[in-house]
Amino acid sequence: MPNLEQTKKAKEIKDPEMRRKYLKYLQLPQNLQEIMFAPKTANKIWDLCQKYQLNNEQTEAVSHTIGLVVLSETDIADFTKTLQEKCKLDESITQELAQDINQQIFLTVREELESLHPQEKPAIPQESEPPLQGLQGNVVNLKEN
């Protein structure tokens, strides 16, 4: 939760979208907040972008996309697709870049990211649930002899 000083600072932000993201950032777990602005993270992003020979615009897009994933503004499942769209990279390069980012940046905060990006699971009826209405006459009881 933001403290009083942070809340005052948020009120000073004129752009409503930036204010919303700032408040969302303040609600992140501490290690996710730290990873967003850590020099170590910036250096890793820079090194990866140099490795894949990305230009400044692409480097900015990579950094921005990583930030959106950490803020849960972009679903982590869509990370590679979003990178490819924003950076206009070949699919194989995007796959390699995304894998490197996952290993070097996201892996260190995996549990926290998973808590922000829960995977939807299909609803599985429990055994104790009654049969659906209208199907009772069509269900064969295999337990009967």
Tell me the pLDDT band of 117, cut-offs 50, 70 and 90.
confident
- Mean pLDDT estimate for the chain: 82
Domain boundaries, the chain: 36-118
pTM score, whole prediction: 0.75
Condensed to tens digits (0 to 9), the pLDDT of residues 50-83 reads: 999 999 999 999 999 999 999 999 888 899 999 9
CA distance 44 to 42: 5
What is the DSSP secondary-structure string of 50-116? HHTT--HHHHHHHHHHHHHHHTTSS-GGGHHHHHHHHHT--HHHHHHHHHHHHHHTGGGGHHHHHHH
Distances (CA, A) of 81 to 87, 105, 121: 10, 18, 22
Say which DSSP state 134 is in. Answer: T
